[in-house]
Amino acid sequence: MAMKSDIQIAREASKKPIQEIGEKLGIPSDELLPYGHDKAKVSQKFINQVRGNKDGKLILVTSINPTPAGEGKSTTTVGLVDGLNRIGKKAAVCIREASLGPNFGMKGGAAGGGYAQVVPMDDMNLHFTGDFHAITSAHNLLAAMIDNHIYWGNSLEIDTRRVTWRRVIDMNDRALRQITASLGGVSNGFPREAGFDITVASEVMAILCLANDLKDLQERLGAMIVAYRRDKSPVYARDIKADGAMTVLLKDAMQPNLVQTLENNPAFVHGGPFANIAHGCNSVIATTTALKLADYVVTEAGFGADLGAEKFMDIKCRKAGLHPAVVVLVATVRAMKMNGGLGKNELDHEDVEAVKKGCPNLGRHIENVKSFGVPVVVALNHFVHDTEAEIQAVKDYVKTMGAEAIVSKHWAQGGEGAVDLATRVAEVADEDPGNFSPIYPDDMGLFQKIETIAKRIYRADEVLADQKIRNQLKEWEEQGYGNLPICMAKTQYSFTTDPNRRGAPTGFGVPVREVRLSAGAGFVVVICGEIMTMPGLPSVPSAVNIKLDANGDIEGLS
Amino acid sequence: MAMKSDIQIAREASKKPIQEIGEKLGIPSDELLPYGHDKAKVSQKFINQVRGNKDGKLILVTSINPTPAGEGKSTTTVGLVDGLNRIGKKAAVCIREASLGPNFGMKGGAAGGGYAQVVPMDDMNLHFTGDFHAITSAHNLLAAMIDNHIYWGNSLEIDTRRVTWRRVIDMNDRALRQITASLGGVSNGFPREAGFDITVASEVMAILCLANDLKDLQERLGAMIVAYRRDKSPVYARDIKADGAMTVLLKDAMQPNLVQTLENNPAFVHGGPFANIAHGCNSVIATTTALKLADYVVTEAGFGADLGAEKFMDIKCRKAGLHPAVVVLVATVRAMKMNGGLGKNELDHEDVEAVKKGCPNLGRHIENVKSFGVPVVVALNHFVHDTEAEIQAVKDYVKTMGAEAIVSKHWAQGGEGAVDLATRVAEVADEDPGNFSPIYPDDMGLFQKIETIAKRIYRADEVLADQKIRNQLKEWEEQGYGNLPICMAKTQYSFTTDPNRRGAPTGFGVPVREVRLSAGAGFVVVICGEIMTMPGLPSVPSAVNIKLDANGDIEGLS
């Protein structure tokens, strides 16, 4: 089967003018702010107008622990929406924007693949509508204003050793991870250690994705902690008086972006916070707006269900008052085999035993999602080499877990290949009894919240944290931050903190290395492993192959 | 006279949909890539289609040496176009884009003022269509790839002490002027000194503004020198293989932006290189495209005529094959008084003698412009306190210099106030005998070119440069760069290198502190004073007053 490449398929798409896509959702063309002919922002004015509309059903797509075999979560998200539209449902996609920098390193951040993609892919992997540039600007304005405050007399008495606000850039640039700034003499300020993260790791990104409106955005921006004094009391962004100007810089970026699937169905692509030190979902404003305009909104969360779905439920849904009607858990026969112990090069031959051996990873995720009170449908994303016996093994297993696995062929066939999945997902969503609740209450202690996630979701025996960390959590509770949810940062490859332990391991502890307070975003980050907030480029970055061809089309951006 | 503020006037503008503005120039709406409803890019495809059209007349607006009194060069540029359209001419504006960073420091970069403005002013002072963000990204991708090359083995043998390619950010951030990068151990690279400039100072900006098309852009990007080896041989951007990906990042930014004046006339706003270390004009592609679509194109150059007009003629026109049909030299009675020795607080009372005493500054600029073979019209930008006697004094003086001074009241009255000026400028442009030529030939030696500018334009007695600088120029000549034009970087406030010497001084030398090769942009920068490539924020940055008001309108951005 000679399949075309994703970019070939994307380029051959018959895109409709974005106004026609907006029309499908009842957005008048005056309220769409176009960016070229195939991208638009939905105006804040229109968003305010539809706040009273009835909500559609929210469908979350998540997956088993990712493996190098690839599960196809975004592909399934897009395919499911095309499938829903095929069966006559008014459905829209809600996904994250891609980060610019990593495209020049290893690979593109394509939204979907095969015949289940969102377009225009090139633009979405480059500047798109400029949201990330706006976040970079707002973040770095605050940074410049902090150093400027210190330079002009430091009336806030910031301890220059305790400036926690770093700078950001949307580029993989390891040389900027750790720097000494303000060198060169009196006119350049007071030398101090500093550094850059990649833009998606900015707390401003997390806030943009969690804020309900511009007022909420500004309040959250102002509440960010940027530094500490010698007495360790915090200095906030509002003390620097940066929150107003940052909000102005983010005004347009707060409006969700509308694009389309290959089958001309509406897709909101907005925001892209890290899935480790942040919550890893598209923006609340895009999701809530989409729910006012479509009957079914299909969204996804970063990484596997243990991390992404948990944060989606416990952070995003809790804070935004959202409740998923059904969760679609994506699995593949190949990933089951890898969870069952096979290597990446051993996946092309039938091995029913390996499939069966890997199923418990899927099983645990099914149980976990159900524990939030939400029904589960397993989407078995079809690959060419999958055999009937292997597929049946997964189906049988899923049945024993009280759910249903449905084969979906959207990658090869687009929406037509996802009709069975769409039909069942719509049925389950329509029957949703509305039992959703987060797995821990707001008023539980911070450490108890961490334990709840570790024990109930990961199935760890215990959480290991030294006294310093426990004291820090206590201190935040005393300062009034005790009601915040937890944002876990750990490897996505395993329920444990060891990326090599696949399947459904038991008998392990979760060591906490560090905790960080994101006071503006509104969560406590719990770090259980190495977290890289500024990637580097590989020895041969993909940038060396990215160029315009003779037709002016982009080559090398996958 | 209770005049409204610029931003009030801008906000009350009755903007037309950008497609209607494009229609005036014959641009089909399919070939306009909209950014919202009031901004658009002109498609590369359309630009290629009109390359065969007949050119309109090019009109350059420049000024006397700027004074704190303000001359109103942009205001006159806009008012003149509105005036030309009032008298039935098809005319368009071509000006530079504003830099984001400085808006948060001292003041906004408003395009024009009073009733002679380009809108939407807010957007133009913020992210606009993202061009500067694209330049920042392309510039910093190259920077990351250089350090990445060193990290992975440094096969090009770059001397880490001689990396000349700095990073850029569109922010006033003095803390980044000088840094030590790649700290923190093996995985972060080899520590070295580095730093950031503001984006407008990037050679990428200068190149975007001088390139004829995307192919030319990529070639120029590849030709930039980014570092030297221990043997002092240069390493180019193309050696790093960054030129292709940089071009991809700049693909959209290369398309000129179309907006409108308050009177709904077309304005191209594109590119914004520094007027000291670069040439300080809007993009060649915007100017050449505008000339294919309008009968009169009014553009401006940075600083006064000694710097801006000289570079416009000797760099931009030379390289792009352009020839101005007339130069409009902007002067004010107030600025004449300051050149005549008065202080900023002494300008509101009639002082004909001071006016007369200041006129020789204007006179020398008239002579200089004429020496390029281009006719001159003086625009006397009217201020409320100007008296008839003062105005007459300027008119009389200008007549003695073989030119005509015309009072223009566009600031208070819009295009109607500029009808006299427009009428005369159109006449002179139509009569243009086409005698334009740069003041030095390509094949003159680099030092002789510097002397030509210093002696013929500034009226200096000599150029002072030590042997090291002369040797450097010789070396570049031997390397094949001898045919490049010169880009002078000196104070804009005086013909001399001393900002306090107003009027038309004689008997001075021009000391050259440093020379730099911009091999991609294609000029040799000659630095005759302090050049700041990264501004700082003031003690109370304007950012602290910038915010959204209750209506969601932006406050504090002037």
The reply to whether A320 belongs to the active site is no
CB of B247 within 8 Å of any CB in chain A? yes
H/E stretch holding A217: helix A214-222
Chain B hits for A557, CB-CB cut-off 8 Å, are 248
Could you report the per-residue pLDDT of B337-352, keeping only the tens digit for each?
999 989 988 888 999 9
Q: Which chain A residue's Cα is nearest to B168?
A: A169
CB of A105 within 8 Å of any CB in chain B? no
CB of B30 within 8 Å of any CB in chain A? yes
Could you report the per-residue pLDDT of A304-353, keeping only the tens digit for each?
999 999 999 999 999 999 999 999 999 999 999 999 989 989 988 999 99
Could you report the per-residue pLDDT of A245-287, keeping only the tens digit for each?
999 999 999 999 999 999 999 999 999 999 888 999 999 999 9
Residue B389: other Cβ atoms inside 10 A: 12
Q: Which residues of B110-139 are buried (b: 16+ CB within 10 A; e: fewer)?
A: bbbbbbbbbbbbbbbbbbbbbbbbbbbbbb
Q: Which chain A residue's Cα is nearest to B242?
A: A544
Instruction: Return all residues near B543 (Cβ < 8 A) that are at least 6 apart.
Output: A141, A145, A241, A242, A244, A245, B104, B105, B537
Could you report the per-residue pLDDT of B379-419, keeping only the tens digit for each?
999 998 899 999 999 999 999 999 999 999 999 999 999 99
CB of A148 within 8 Å of any CB in chain B? yes
Cα gap A387→A199, rounded to integer Å: 42
The pTM of the whole model exceeds 0.90: yes
CB of A104 within 8 Å of any CB in chain B? yes
CB of B429 within 8 Å of any CB in chain A? no
Instruction: Tell me the percentage of chain B whose pLDDT exceeds 90.
Output: 89
Q: Do A541 and B252 touch (CB under 8 A)?
A: no
Chain A hits for B249, CB-CB cut-off 8 Å, are 126-127
Q: Which residues of A169-207 are buried (b: 16+ CB within 10 A; e: fewer)?
A: bbbbbbbbbbbbbbbbeeebbebbebbbbbbbbbbbbbb
pLDDT for res A2: 59
pLDDT for res A6: 85
CB of B126 within 8 Å of any CB in chain A? yes
- How would you classify residue A545: left for phi > 0, otherwise alpha for psi between -120 and 50, otherwise beta? alpha
Structure tokens at A118: 């969102």
How many residues in total does chain B contain?
A: 558
Contact predicate B526/B537, CB 8 Å: no
Annotated binding residues of A for ATP: 67-74
The pLDDT of A378-397, averaged and rounded, is 96
Chain B hits for A167, CB-CB cut-off 8 Å, are 176
Residue B325 has pLDDT above 90, yes or no: yes
CB of A156 within 8 Å of any CB in chain B? no
Q: Distance (Å) from the C-alpha of residue B188 to the closest C-alpha of chain A?
A: 5
pLDDT for res B108: 62
pLDDT for res A1: 47
A46, A411, A436, A495: the catalytic one is A411
Surface of B (44-63) touching A: CB under 8 A: 44
Residue B2 has pLDDT above 80, yes or no: no
Chain A hits for B254, CB-CB cut-off 8 Å, are none
Residue A161 has pLDDT above 60, yes or no: yes
Which residue of B148, B167, B179 is in closest CB contact with A181?
A: B179
Which of B425, B431, B451 lies closest to B440, judged by CA? B451
Structure tokens at B288: 């050449």
CB of A238 within 8 Å of any CB in chain B? no
The pLDDT of B149-158, averaged and rounded, is 98
Which residue of A143, A248, A537 is in closest CB contact with B546?
A: A248
A4, A51, A107, A230: the catalytic one is A107
Residues of B tagged active-site: 73, 75, 96, 107, 275, 303, 383, 411
Chain B hits for A546, CB-CB cut-off 8 Å, are 244-245, 248
Which residue of A127, A169, A184 is in closest CB contact with B130?
A: A127
pLDDT for res A550: 87
Chain A hits for B127, CB-CB cut-off 8 Å, are 130, 133-134, 137, 249, 252
Could you report the per-residue pLDDT of A507-535, keeping only the tens digit for each?
999 999 999 999 999 999 999 988 889 99
Determine if the peptide bond prior to A541 is cis (ω within 30°). no
Q: Which chain A residue's Cα is nearest to B252?
A: A127
Structure tokens at A218: 């500004």
Chain B hits for A152, CB-CB cut-off 8 Å, are 539
Collapse the DSSP code of B61 into the 3-class scheme (helix H, G, I; strand E, B; otherwise coil) and give the result. Answer: strand
Which of B290, B376, B395, B285 lies closest to B328, judged by CA? B376
Q: Which chain A residue's Cα is nearest to B195?
A: A181
DSSP, residue by residue, A98-114: PPTGGGGTT----SEET
CB of A145 within 8 Å of any CB in chain B? yes
Could you report the per-residue pLDDT of A202-243, keeping only the tens digit for each?
999 999 999 999 999 999 999 999 999 999 999 999 999 999
Which residue of A143, A145, A167 is in closest CB contact with B541?
A: A145
Contact predicate B108/B98, CB 8 Å: yes
Could you report the per-residue pLDDT of A410-431, keeping only the tens digit for each?
999 999 999 999 999 999 999 9
A41, A96, A318, A502: the catalytic one is A96
Surface of B (373-412) touching A: CB under 8 A: none
Chain B hits for A188, CB-CB cut-off 8 Å, are 174-175, 177-178
Greatest extent of chain A over all pairs of C-alpha atoms, in Å? 73
Chain A hits for B16, CB-CB cut-off 8 Å, are none
The reply to whether A387 belongs to the active site is no
The reply to whether A241 belongs to the active site is no
Cα gap A447→A449, rounded to integer Å: 5
In a mutagenesis test of the B interface, which of A33, A167, A170, A188 is the best target, namely the one with the most B β-carbons within 10 Å?
A188
Could you report the per-residue pLDDT of A114-134, keeping only the tens digit for each?
999 999 999 999 999 999 999
Annotated ligand binding at B68? The verdict is: yes
Q: Compute φ and ψ for B180, nearest 5 degrees.
A: -110, 125
Q: Where are the alpha helices (DSSP H) in A378-418?
A: 388-400, 410-413
The pLDDT of A23-41, averaged and rounded, is 97
CB of B156 within 8 Å of any CB in chain A? no
Structure tokens at A432: 């949703």
Which residue of A33, A170, A244 is in closest CB contact with B137?
A: A170
Which residue of A137, A179, A252 is in closest CB contact with B181?
A: A179
Q: Which chain A residue's Cα is nearest to B543?
A: A245
Distance of alpha carbon B148 from the chain centroid: 33
Q: Do A141 and B545 touch (CB under 8 A)?
A: no
List the single range of A489-503, B237-251, B284-298, B367-381 with lowest mean pLDDT.
Answer: A489-503
CB of B350 within 8 Å of any CB in chain A? no
Sign, CA torsion A348/A354/A359/A360: negative
CB of A106 within 8 Å of any CB in chain B? no
The reply to whether A476 belongs to the active site is no
The reply to whether A62 belongs to the active site is no
Collapse the DSSP code of A278 into the 3-class scheme (helix H, G, I; strand E, B; otherwise coil) and give the result. Answer: coil
CB of A545 within 8 Å of any CB in chain B? yes
Sign, CA torsion A297/A303/A304/A308: negative
H/E stretch holding B80: helix B73-86
CB of B174 within 8 Å of any CB in chain A? yes
pLDDT for res A108: 62
The pLDDT of B54-78, averaged and rounded, is 93
Residue B443 has pLDDT above 90, yes or no: yes
Q: Do B33 and A36 touch (CB under 8 A)?
A: yes
Residue B510 has pLDDT above 50, yes or no: yes
Cα gap B340→B392, rounded to integer Å: 16
Residue B1 has pLDDT above 60, yes or no: no
Domains of chain B (ranges; CATH) run 6-129+253-430 (3.40.50.300), 131-250 (3.30.1510.10), 446-528 (3.10.410.10)
Q: Compute φ and ψ for A515, nearest 5 degrees.
A: -125, 145
Residue A52: other Cβ atoms inside 10 A: 7
A132, A274, A312, A383: the catalytic one is A383
Collapse the DSSP code of A261 into the 3-class scheme (helix H, G, I; strand E, B; otherwise coil) and give the result. Answer: strand
Residue B354 has pLDDT above 80, yes or no: yes
